[in-house]
C-alpha cells in the first residue's frame, strides 16, 4: 500500500479540499457572489479560515513527525508533551498584559518562549541518569499541561473584561482569527521552520536509529536534535498563536502518512504538511457545518478523532517502537 506516488496524489487532492472548504459554510454550500459586498466579506472570512487551518494543520503535523523521530516514539506530539499548553499560557500572558496590540510579533514570541520553557522543563523532569524515558516525558507533559491550563484559568479569572474577551475567543481553538498580520506572520514562521526540518530530513532518518549509529553514519546528533526540537517548538508556538489549542493533529497525520509514503522524511515531511493542512481544514469544515448554524470548536473534533488513535498506538507499542 506504500507508494511513492501517494505524495503526488496528495498534491493533486489538496486544491480540491481547500476549494471545497471555501464553498461550504454554516450558511450552506454556495459560492458567495464576489460582486456583492456581503459575498466579498464572506469569501474573505472563509479564505482567512482556510489559509489559517492549512498553516496550523501543516505546522502541528510536521512538528509531531519531527518530535516522533527525535524522541524515537510515536506518541510524541506537541499537545501531549505539554508544548501546546505552554505556548497557550505564554500567548495568554501577552494578551492580558496588553502587549498583543503593541506588535504583531508579541503573541508568537510569548508563545514560543513559554513553549520552549515547557519543553525544557518536561525533559528535565523526565530525565533520570541522563536518559529521558517516554513514560516520564508523557507524564511530565500531561502534568505540566494541567498546570499551564490552571494558570490560564487563573489569568482568565483575574483578567480585565477587555483582555478576557481576547483570551476566551482565542482559547476556543478557533481558526477564525481577526488579525491578518498574525495569520501572515504565523504562516511564514511555520513555512520557514518547515523548510529547515525538511532540509534535515536525512538527519532525522539517521537519528531514528539512535544517536550513536547516527554519529557513525556521519550525522551530528546533538546539533540536529537541538535544531529539530527548536523548529518543532516554533511551529507549535506559531500554530497556537494563530488558533489556540488544537490537539492530536501531530499524532494522527504522521502516523497515517508513514503507511502511505514510507518513513523516510524527505518524502514524509512534505506529505505530512499537505495532509495535515487538509486534515485540519476538513475538520474545521465539519465543525462549521455539521451542526449549522451552531459551530463546534475545531479542537473538539481533532481531540475526538485523535484521542482514540493515541490510545490505540499506546496499546500496540510492542510493534517495533522502542522506549
Partner 1 sequence: MSAIELQNVSAAYRESDVLHAVSLTVAAGEWLALLGPNGAGKSTLLRVITGLLPARAGVALLNGRDIRAIRGTERARLVAVVPQELSTPLPFTVAELVGLGRVSARARLARPGAEDRRAIERALAYTDLLDLRDRPFGELSGGEKQRAALALALAQETRILLLDEPTAHLDLNHQWEILRLLDRLNRECRLTIVMTSHDLNLAAEFCARLALFDRGRLAALGKPAEVLREDLLREVYRCDVRVRQESGRAPEVRPERRPPPAAGTSAKKIHVLAGGGSGAELLRLLLLTGHQVSCGPLNMGDSDAQAAAALEIRAALEKPFSPLGKAALATARQFAGEAQVLVLAEVPFGPGNVALLTLAEEALARGARVLINTRHLDQRDFTPQREALPRLRALLDRGAVAWQHADEIFQALEKPA
The reply on whether position 48 binds partner 1 by CB under 8 A is no
The reply on whether position 220 binds partner 1 by CB under 8 A is yes
Q: Following CA atoms 271, 239, 206, 212 in sequence, which dihedral angle do they give, to the nearest 10 degrees? A: -160
Site for partner 1 in 303-322 (CB under 8 A): 319-322
Spatial distance between the Cα atoms of 269 and 261, rounded to a whole number of angstroms = 10
37 SS3 class: helix
- For the CB of residue 319, give the shortest distance to partner 1 in the complex, in Å: 7
The reply on whether position 68 binds partner 1 by CB under 8 A is yes
Stretch that binds partner 1, among 14-22, 69-77, 142-150, 295-303 (CB under 8 A): 69-77
Please tell me the total number of residues recorded for the chain in this structure.
323
Kindly tell me which of 20 and 264 has the beta carbon lying closer to partner 1. 264
Q: Are 111 and 241 in contact (CB under 8 A)?
A: yes
**Which residue is it, cell 505540566?**
144
| Binding-site size, partner 1 (CB under 8 A) | 33
Strand partners, 172: none
Q: Are 183 and 52 in contact (CB under 8 A)?
A: yes
Kindly tell me which of 5 and 31 has the beta carbon lying closer to partner 1. 5
The reply on whether position 217 binds partner 1 by CB under 8 A is yes
Q: Are 84 and 247 in contact (CB under 8 A)?
A: yes
- For the CB of residue 127, give the shortest distance to partner 1 in the complex, in Å: 16
Site for partner 1 in 184-213 (CB under 8 A): 198-199, 201-203, 205-206, 208-210, 212-213
E strands in the chain: 24-25, 28-29, 127-128, 131-132
Kindly tell me which of 214 and 245 has the beta carbon lying closer to partner 1. 214
- For the CB of residue 57, give the shortest distance to partner 1 in the complex, in Å: 22
Q: Are 112 and 87 in contact (CB under 8 A)?
A: yes
Q: Are 252 and 68 in contact (CB under 8 A)?
A: no
Strand partners, 128: 131
- For the CB of residue 89, give the shortest distance to partner 1 in the complex, in Å: 30
Spatial distance between the Cα atoms of 124 and 145, rounded to a whole number of angstroms = 15
Kindly tell me which of 29 and 322 has the beta carbon lying closer to partner 1. 322
The reply on whether position 39 binds partner 1 by CB under 8 A is no
Q: Are 91 and 241 in contact (CB under 8 A)?
A: yes
The reply on whether position 74 binds partner 1 by CB under 8 A is yes
Kindly tell me which of 74 and 82 has the beta carbon lying closer to partner 1. 74
The reply on whether position 272 binds partner 1 by CB under 8 A is no
Site for partner 1 in 252-271 (CB under 8 A): 258-259, 262-264, 266
Kindly tell me which of 70 and 115 has the beta carbon lying closer to partner 1. 70
Strands 127-128, 28-29: pairing is unpaired
> What is the binding site for partner 1 (CB under 8 A)?
68-69, 72-74, 198-199, 201-203, 205-206, 208-210, 212-213, 215-220, 258-259, 262-264, 266, 319-322
Amino acid at each position: 500500500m506504500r507508494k511513492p506516488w501517494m505524495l503526488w496524489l496528495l498534491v493533486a487532492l489538496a486544491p480540491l479540499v481547500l476549494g471545497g472548504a471555501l464553498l461550504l459554510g454554516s450558511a450552506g454550500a454556495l459560492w458567495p457572489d464576489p460582486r456583492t459586498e456581503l459575498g466579498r466579506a464572506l469569501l474573505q472570512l472563509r479564505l482567512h479560515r482556510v489559509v489559517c487551518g492549512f498553516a496550523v494543520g501543516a505546522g502541528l503535523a510536521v512538528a509531531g513527525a519531527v518530535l516522533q523521530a527525535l524522541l524515537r516514539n510515536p506518541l510524541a506530539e506537541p499537545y501531549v508533551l505539554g508544548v501546546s499548553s505552554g505556548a497557550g499560557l505564554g500567548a495568554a500572558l501577552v494578551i492580558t498584559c496588553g502587549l498583543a496590540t503593541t506588535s504583531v510579533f508579541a503573541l508568537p514570541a510569548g508563545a514560543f518562549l513559554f513553549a520552549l520553557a515547557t519543553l525544557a522543563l518536561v525533559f528535565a523532569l523526565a530525565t533520570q541518569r541522563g536518559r529521558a524515558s517516554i513514560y516520564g516525558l508523557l507524564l511530565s507533559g500531561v502534568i505540566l499541561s494541567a498546570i499551564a491550563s490552571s494558570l490560564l484559568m487563573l489569568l482568565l479569572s483575574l483578567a480585565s473584561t477587555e483582555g478576557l474577551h481576547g483570551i476566551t475567543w482565542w482559547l476556543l481553538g478557533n481558526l477564525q482569527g481577526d488579525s491578518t498580520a498574525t495569520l501572515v506572520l504565523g504562516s511564514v514562521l511555520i513555512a520557514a521552520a518547515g523548510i529547515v526540518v525538511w532540509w534535515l530530513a536525512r538527519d532525522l532518518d539517521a537519528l531514528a536509529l539512535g544517536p550513536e549509529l547516527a554519529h557513525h553514519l556521519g550525522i551530528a546528533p546533538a546539533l540536529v536534535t537541538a535544531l529539530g526540537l527548536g523548529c518543532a517548538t516554533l511551529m507549535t508556538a506559531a500554530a497556537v498563536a494563530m488558533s489556540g489549542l488544537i490537539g492530536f493533529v501531530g499524532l494522527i497525520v504522521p502516523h497515517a502518512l508513514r503507511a502511505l509514503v514510507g518513513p523516510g522524511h524527505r518524502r514524509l515531511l512534505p506529505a505530512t504538511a499537505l495532509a495535515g493542512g487538509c486534515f485540519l481544514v476538513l475538520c474545521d469544515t465539519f465543525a462549521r457545518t455539521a451542526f449549522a448554524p451552531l459551530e463546534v470548536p475545531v479542537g473538539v473534533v481533532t481531540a475526538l478523532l485523535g484521542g482514540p488513535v493515541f490510545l490505540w498506538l499506546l496499546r500496540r507499542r510492542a510493534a517495533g517502537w522502542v522506549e
